[in-house]
Amino acid sequence: MDDAARPALTGSAGSGYGRGARILSIGIALTGVVTFAYFSVASYVLNDVEYKQIALLWSVLFVTVSVIYRPIEQLLSRTIADRRARGFEHDHPLRTPLLLQGGFALAFLVIALVLRGPIQDDLFDGSKALYWILVVAVLAYAASYFARGWLAGHQWFGFYGGLVFLEACSRLAFAVAVAVGIAHGQTAVALGMAAAPFFSLIVVPWAFSRRPPASGEKRADAEALGLARGGRFALAVLAVMVAEQTLLNAGVLLVDWTSADKAVAGFVFNVLLIARAPLQLFQAIQGSLLPHLAGLEAREGQAEFARAIRVTVAAIAGFAGAVALGLVIVGPFAMNILFDDPFTYGRWGLALVAIGMGFHLTAGTLNQAALARDRAGTAAACWLFTAAAFVAFMVSPLVDDELLRAQIGYFGAAALLAALLAVVYRATSASSGPRTSGPS
């Protein structure tokens, strides 16, 4: 690439990243509002027991699909963006991601069938309908997450945002149908979770039609992504997903297990919502950041790559600082308004979780840098070590107060994770540069 062309490409990439992040942020924010509406409507049309089962189904479904399918989304996003940055617009290697995605889906199906009794009887109180809705929904999301990775890799963030928004709207439609009398009961509301990923795929043919026409140049290398290499990447990202769910959920579960006062687990869950909500929105940034970084790594080298990281981390630091300050000022009052319980939340503990959230988001950014540089295994080791340390701290007697232990534990784990991934980032930066050839 000549020097005259490089600035134009750099600007285009940067503006594409910013525009993509904004589009995805809007799409996911709207999706969050519509999802809230789904549960709001469901709470009015169902009794308390039925609504609790809907919430449980949602939790199990989305923890499962996030863990087993996001690795393929990330693999596709990185691979396609890297190839496009090197001039390959067609014949992207899809066979390996398809095999891996199919393998994850098949593994889930086998486990779900083997454990049908405990899932159906213990988790869903004997409901066959909820069990089969879970199975169908998880299998359907295999296609949805594959499509997300394909769209992100092409940096078609409008279609990506449209996919997740259409998914949420179609799910809401089932709850509304019950509310207006077209359908009836818990099963009808739950069916929205299984139908949503099918409806969301409507955007894929439209996006496919927008691809540039195939030409004769740079179409080789179609299956350069081997099963072994793709599998290592996907398994490493799967480990990252498991570790992240541990940081977000193990605190609640362990407090519920160890505390004599079972209400404390609910207080821990409420406090960790301070981290959950921004992390949900941060998926928009992650969705556009990974393909952007993969393209920079293939084309521009260290300077632009580092600039993208600095800008993102600076924005995270400002956001986390503002949230922490706000919680110091009005945190206990706001928590008592939002949650109908008699517990008084300490302002400094809330601020500690907010700062931990900043470290968590920073770690997520540095993790995307590691994935873009094909260091998924090293990143996964950092995540797993941190998750193990967090669990060890949570079961230790170092802090008697369970809520304070969870707050300190989350903050410490997030800070440790960010520090470890920062070391990985600095180590890989020293040897990075633009690539002009070679398989993705």
Mean pLDDT of 126-148: 94
Domain-located, residue 411: yes
Q: Where are the alpha helices (DSSP H) in 46-127?
A: 48-85, 95-114, 116-117
Q: Which two tokens stand for residue 140?
A: 């359907």
Domain-located, residue 3: no
Q: Are residues 197 and 265 in the same domain?
A: no
Domain-located, residue 4: no
Q: How much is the pTM?
A: 0.74
Cα–Cα dist 164/47, whole Å? 28
**What 3-state class would DSSP assign to 322?**
helix
Residue 302, pLDDT score: 75
Q: Confidence class of residue 130 from pLDDT cuts 50, 70 and 90?
A: very high
Cα–Cα dist 60/47, whole Å? 20
Pick the residue with more confidence: 420 or 219?
A: 420
Asked whether 371 and 231 are in contact (CB, 8 A), the reply is no
Q: Are residues 86 and 146 in the same domain?
A: yes
Nearest Cα to Cα of residue 357 among 389, 321, 325, 331: 321
Q: Are residues 162 and 285 in the same domain?
A: no
Asked whether 85 and 155 are in contact (CB, 8 A), the reply is no
CB-CB neighbours of 400 under 10 Å: 7
Q: Which two tokens stand for residue 17?
A: 């990243």
Domain final position from 194, 225, 256: 225
Q: Are residues 385 and 312 in the same domain?
A: yes
**What 3-state class would DSSP assign to 440?**
coil
Q: Are residues 272 and 153 in the same domain?
A: no
Q: Which two tokens stand for residue 353?
A: 């979780």
Q: Which amino acid is at 242?
A: V
Estimate the share of the chain in helix, then strand, then coil, as percent rounded to the nearest 5: 80, 0, 20
Domain-located, residue 330: yes
Q: Are residues 200 and 315 in the same domain?
A: no
What are 303-359's pLDDT values in tens digits? 778 888 888 899 889 988 988 898 888 877 777 666 555 566 778 888 888 899 899
Q: Confidence class of residue 211 from pLDDT cuts 50, 70 and 90?
A: low
Q: Are residues 153 and 200 in the same domain?
A: yes
Q: Confidence class of residue 3 from pLDDT cuts 50, 70 and 90?
A: very low
Residue 111, pLDDT score: 96
Cα–Cα dist 366/417, whole Å? 10
Q: In the predicted model, is pLDDT for residue 71 greater than 70?
A: yes
Q: Are residues 335 and 430 in the same domain?
A: yes
Domain-located, residue 7: no
Q: Confidence class of residue 13 from pLDDT cuts 50, 70 and 90?
A: very low
Q: Confidence class of residue 5 from pLDDT cuts 50, 70 and 90?
A: very low
What are 260-271's pLDDT values in tens digits? 665 676 677 777
Asked whether 149 and 75 are in contact (CB, 8 A), the reply is yes
Cα–Cα dist 9/312, whole Å? 20
- What is the pLDDT of the chain when averaged over all its residues? 80
CB-CB neighbours of 416 under 10 Å: 17
Q: Are residues 63 and 184 in the same domain?
A: yes
Q: Are residues 293 and 369 in the same domain?
A: yes
What are 149-195's pLDDT values in tens digits? 888 888 788 888 889 889 989 999 999 999 998 998 899 999 999 99
Domain-located, residue 215: no
* Residue tagged 């350069």 (tokens): 224
Longest dimension (CA), the chain: 69
Asked whether 255 and 268 are in contact (CB, 8 A), the reply is yes
Q: Are residues 124 and 260 in the same domain?
A: no
Residue 283, pLDDT score: 67
How far is residue 216 from each of residues 90, 91, 92, 219, 322, measured CA to CA in Å?
10, 11, 15, 7, 52
What are 426-438's pLDDT values in tens digits? 998 766 555 444 3
Cα–Cα dist 359/275, whole Å? 10
Domain-located, residue 113: yes
Q: In the predicted model, is pLDDT for residue 8 greater than 70?
A: no
Report how many domains make up the chain: 2
Cβ neighbours for 76, distance < 8 A, ≥ 6 positions apart? 94, 97, 146, 149, 150, 152, 153
Domain-located, residue 10: no
Cα–Cα dist 11/227, whole Å? 35
Q: Which residue range forms the structural domain that includes residue 320? A: 232-440
Q: Are residues 431 and 309 in the same domain?
A: yes
